[in-house]
Amino acid sequence: MPSSHIPVITIDGPTASGKGTVAAKVAERLGFHLLDSGALYRLTALSSMRAGVSLIDEHAVAQLAEALPARFANGDIFLGEEEVGAVIRAEEVGNNASKIAALPAVRQALYALQLAFRKAPGLVADGRDMGTVIFPNAKLKVFLTASVEARAERRYKQLIDKGISANMEGLLADLQARDERDTHRTVAPLVPAEGAYILDTSDMTVDVAVEQVLHWYSLL
């Protein structure tokens, strides 16, 4: 089957909107592959931090992104042979990922890598520019949103559940700063894709959000 005929569902949205969890559950229900594009940027940020590469050295960060030994298997995220799923969820890594995501050369370096995830029987891709840049012809485009307060509460609970100390005021400030960067960057700013369904999950459970996405897909 030509890759252009393989169905794609894109789920974009700001940090902690629930898009990753919703995308994973939708992919599981449909038997589709999953692309966590945010993880690629977090992996690039982690690689840069470990290599001592300055995050403002666009060329050097892009070189790391091009050769990124990223692998996803059974819900785990690997950098080379190391499972780093928990490591890349640290707030410092997330903030640095948001910074390098604004670098055009880094985005270009990861472009082909993301396209390669489109495999039969289908793909659910979550991120910030899946529907606007990477898969503009996706069969279904969804933009998940939620109030910054609701997102801060979710992130706080996630971190506490993992035994990571967290400060609500600090998380709120970080999310607001990240939103500002993501929505105002010159390359692929965070905006709903043309024709995207908007889903506000502020007062919605994950299961309800998943059912809504599956319902929209069933109508196509």
Residue 136 is labelled as binding a ligand: no
pLDDT of residue 164: 82
Q: Where are the domains of the chain?
A: 3-218
Residue 20 is labelled as binding a ligand: yes
Residue 1 has pLDDT above 80, yes or no: no
Tell which CATH architecture fits domain 3-218: 3-Layer(aba) Sandwich (3.40)
Residue 19 is labelled as binding a ligand: yes
pLDDT per residue over 105-116, tens digit each?
A: 999 999 988 998
Q: Do 48 and 65 form a contact (C-beta atoms < 8 A)?
A: no
Residue 131 is labelled as binding a ligand: no
pLDDT of residue 91: 83
Please report, rounded to a whole number, the percentage of residues in the chain having pLDDT higher than 70. 100
pLDDT of residue 75: 77
Residue 28 has pLDDT above 80, yes or no: yes
Residue 17 is labelled as binding a ligand: yes
pTM of this prediction?
Answer: 0.86
The backbone region for 26, taken as left when phi is positive above 0, alpha when psi lies in -120 to 50, beta otherwise, is: alpha
Residue 18 is labelled as binding a ligand: yes
More confident residue, 90 or 137: 137
Retrieve residue 133's tokens.
Answer: 């840049």
